[in-house]
Chains A and B, each alone.
Chain A
Amino acid sequence: MSFLKKSQIKSPWLLHFDCGSCNGCDIETLACLTPVYDIERFGIVNVGNPRHADVLIVTGTVNPRNAVILKNLYDQMPTPKLVIAVGACGCTGGVFREAPNVLGGVDKIIPVDVYVPGCPAKPEAIMDAVVAGLGKLKGILEGSK
């Protein structure tokens, strides 16, 4: 595997988007950065700009207002890109899925690579999801030569 491809696995930069979360999953996501979990071990950096990001982490339900933004952020990311839906709401819409203003989970708008269940999702689970996503990416890269 070439250095450039290997780099893609070793340097995933995250973009964290709070779609309509209660902030529970957001707190858990940010907890990954703390010394306890130290997500930077994997070369992961939390960036604030879709143009620099490789992995989009979305928490919360999607509604008509933020669906456009979610789609736009996804489109602005460079390829190849991963999407991780975090928490029950991100995966399916959670307890809010029947609400009149809720469209449902993230996958209603953009393709999702990894789902992280939980309400809120645990930091370990989120990190696991990133690693799983990278595994998937690795498979794609190896397949593409």
Chain B
Amino acid sequence: MLDAYIGVLVLWPLVAGLLCLVLRSPGARKALVLLTSAALAVCAVGLASQTPFTANPNFLASEGTLKVAEALAIVFPAYFLLRGLMEKHALVIIFSCLQLALAIWGMMNMNEPQTVQNAVVCDGLSVTLALVVAIIGSLIAIFAIPYMQHHEDHLKLAKSKQPAFFLVLLAFLGFMNGMALSNDLRVFEACFEATTLCSFLLIGHDNTPVARQSAFRALWMNALGGVFLHSGVLLVQKQFGVVDIHAVVNPALWTGASMLPVALIVAAGCVKAAQMPFQKWLLGAMVAPTPVSALLHSSTMVKAGVFLCLRFSPVLTNTTIGAILALSGAFTFFAGSAMSLGQSNAKKVLAYSTIANLGLIIVCAGIGTPVAVAAGIVLLAVHAATKGLLFLCVGDMEQTIGSRDLEDLRGMVGKSPVTALAACAGALGMVLPPMGMLVGKWATIEAAKSNPVVMALILLGSALAVVCWVRFAGTLMSGKPLPTPEKAHHSSPLTNMPLMTMLACAIGLGMAAPWIDALMLPNADAASVFTTGWGLMPPLFIVCLLAWMVGMKVLGRQTAVPQASPYMGGLPSAEPGTFVGALGKNWALTEGNEYATEIFGESGWTKFAGTLAGLLLLAMVGGAFI
């Protein structure tokens, strides 16, 4: 049964995607995507119910699969090289050549490593990522059905590119699952490269000059990540002759050995997770249709990077590399939060916040203690749901009003109340207790108690994030009061269903955080979770529930009575958003947020933070030599 679950999770999405490509009809596509989503969710839950376990499914363990994985290590870079040559993109050419050279050198010179005992080893971390991909990723894929229809109607394409789009989108989910579950570094690497390919194709999907530019930027950065990963993997093979991931992350293996491979692998994770100074590829990814950016930001791609770091965290405990990694993660959290504060572009706010929160998870990986890693996994899951929700909401609002600027989204609660309120819930869920993000952040701070700089950076970032998200939610709630909410612009059930499910996931996961945390800890620690601060959460939920009920009652009461006229320094207001001023005329009132760009401006911070973060990353790799 387990093998079947794994087979569906890893292979079925690719098959379904290919069927989408062959069948081409929108009806079949819809049915396939819905079927795939349901199948993925069921199988992931099935896996979760059996965790922890080991398995040896034939399609991942067989000799043939390993040959395919090794071949892919050459095929992918070769394809990247080809695209790089076609586009004459120097960086892509250089890094894909390097990847190719490494792959070929590895093939020629490496001895056959020890056979991997179990092709699949599923622990809490793997199953969390698999669940995130299967549920959050699927919801985004469902959201993409009406969205892409609308998107193509808007672009007036002669021939629909949706079959290819859904092929890549669905295959992406399969590769992510493969990465989460596989225990063989070579298979892992093949999936890792496959996600690079998928993200490249998805970002460039619209094929506009901006999209192409962003896609190639993503490609060269992730190819560089691939170089790091591959050289790390080769070094591991050379040092120990092992490719079994769970054997590699055993700290006992590394006593006295050079940590360089770990540093390289972790650096690859940082690139994938869009940590500074590699944040630009993720920002560029926003030119793609919303489902793509939602997928890249919440459930796939960047999560692959933090997954890799968390996977290697046992090796990082109490090492120089781990300390520097934690520092660079904390710095990214701080800088990313600061940059998201200075943004008025709603999607950039989301993007910088993603970068920041991934930094936080990287801090957990760098600290590497079980408590920190459990907090990291909680953050990973809750962030995926919350950020996915926010992206879908912003995407939906963008299609409604045709702008993604926060100032234009002012008062969305009057225009499309459901989406706007869901976005507010997501935004507040990012920063307020007792939701999982804040609790995870708090647990990270306390786990980092031996490192004051990391703690201080997280505190700064946290304050910045609160301001950013409360302002985001507040802006959606403010604006001209409309007497009756207009009917939502397009309320396809396939838009609303993923949104509402995602909202439920975000809130549910946020509230379930203490229990997830307890599940992720080794038995000795798990018992003590509820005696620490996590134990505060359940009573807080009850308080929240009471507050919610009181709030709803008051909301009902206040909605029933007429509202007061707005206070405008004493001037009367005849219509919403105006005041009666000079000449007895109605003067329009314009409002705007303070973004403090003089302090949190993007360009200055990009230079400053990019340089510093780059130095930290170099120091981390250098730390391996100490």
Residues 56-86 of A at the B interface (beta carbon under 8 Å): 68-69, 71-73, 75-76
Q: Across the interface, do B565 and A76 meet the contact criterion of CB distance under 8 Å?
A: yes
Please tell me the number of chain B residues within 8 Å of chain A, measured between CB atoms.
7
Which residues of chain B come closer than 8 Å to A73, judged between CB atoms?
A: 570
Given contacts A51-B567, A71-B572, A76-B565, 13 further A-B contacts (CB under 8 A): A17-B570, A49-B567, A50-B567, A51-B564, A68-B580, A69-B571, A69-B572, A72-B565, A72-B571, A72-B572, A73-B570, A75-B565, A76-B564
- Interface of B (DSSP majority class): loop
Interface core residue of A50, A72, A73 (most chain B CB under 10 Å): A72
Produce 1/0 per residue, A35-57, CB < 8 A to B: 00000000000000111000000
Chain B residue, CB-CB nearest to A65: B584
A17 to B572, CA, bound (A): 15
Question: Could you tell me the distance between the alpha carbons of A83 and B459 in the complex, rounded to whole angstroms?
Answer: 50
Residues of B within 8 A of A72 (CB): 565, 570-572
| B570 to A, closest residue via Cβ | A69
Q: Could you mark each residue 571-586 of chain B with 1 if its beta carbon is under 8 Å from any beta carbon of chain A, else 0?
A: 1100000001000000
Q: List 21 A-B contacts (CB under 8 A).
A: A17-B570, A49-B567, A50-B567, A50-B570, A51-B564, A51-B567, A68-B572, A68-B580, A69-B570, A69-B571, A69-B572, A71-B572, A72-B565, A72-B570, A72-B571, A72-B572, A73-B570, A75-B565, A76-B564, A76-B565, A76-B567
Contacts of B567 in A (CB 8 A): 49-51, 76
Binding site for A on B (CB under 8 A): 564-565, 567, 570-572, 580
- A70 CB to closest chain B CB, in angstroms? 8
Contact with B along A15-26 (1 / 0, CB 8 A): 001000000000
A110 to nearest B CB, angstroms? 13
B580 → chain A closest CB, angstroms: 7
Contact flags (1/0) for A121-143 with B, using CB distance below 8 Å? Answer: 00000000000000000000000
Q: Which residues of A contact B (CB under 8 A)?
A: 17, 49-51, 68-69, 71-73, 75-76
Q: Which residue on chain A has the smallest CB distance to residue B580?
A: A68
CB proximity of B587 to chain A, nearest CB, Å: 14
Q: Which residues of A contact B571 (CB under 8 A)?
A: 69, 72
Bound Cα distance A69, B584 (Å): 12
A22 to chain B minimum Cβ distance, whole angstroms, is 20
Task: Give A50 to B565 CA distance when docked, in angstroms.
Answer: 12
- Say how far A3's CB is from chain B's closest CB, in angstroms: 22
Chain A residues within an 8 Å CB radius of B572: 68-69, 71-72
Nearest residue (CB) in B for A69 is: B570
- Residue of A with least CB distance to B566: A76
Name B572's closest neighbour in chain A (CB-CB).
A72
Within 8 Å CB of A76, what residues of B? 564-565, 567
Q: Which residues of chain B come closer than 8 Å to A50, judged between CB atoms?
A: 567, 570
- Docked Cα-Cα span, A69 to B526, in Å, equals 65
Q: How far is the CA of A50 from the CA of B568 in the complex (A)?
A: 11
A21: min CB distance to chain B, Å: 15
Cα A71 to Cα B571 with chains together (Å): 10
Question: Which residue among B564, B570, B572 has the maximum number of chain A CB atoms within 10 Å of its CB?
Answer: B570
Q: Please provide the 5 A-B residue pairs with the shortest distance between their CB atoms, ordered closest to farther.
A: A72-B572, A69-B570, A73-B570, A68-B572, A72-B570
Contacts of A71 in B (CB 8 A): 572
Q: Could you say which of A51, A71, A75, A76 has the most chain B C-beta atoms within 10 Å of its C-beta?
A: A76
Q: For the complex, what is the distance from the CA of A75 to the CA of B565, rounded to whole Å? A: 9
In the bound complex, residues from chain A placing their C-beta under 8 Å from that of B565 are 72, 75-76
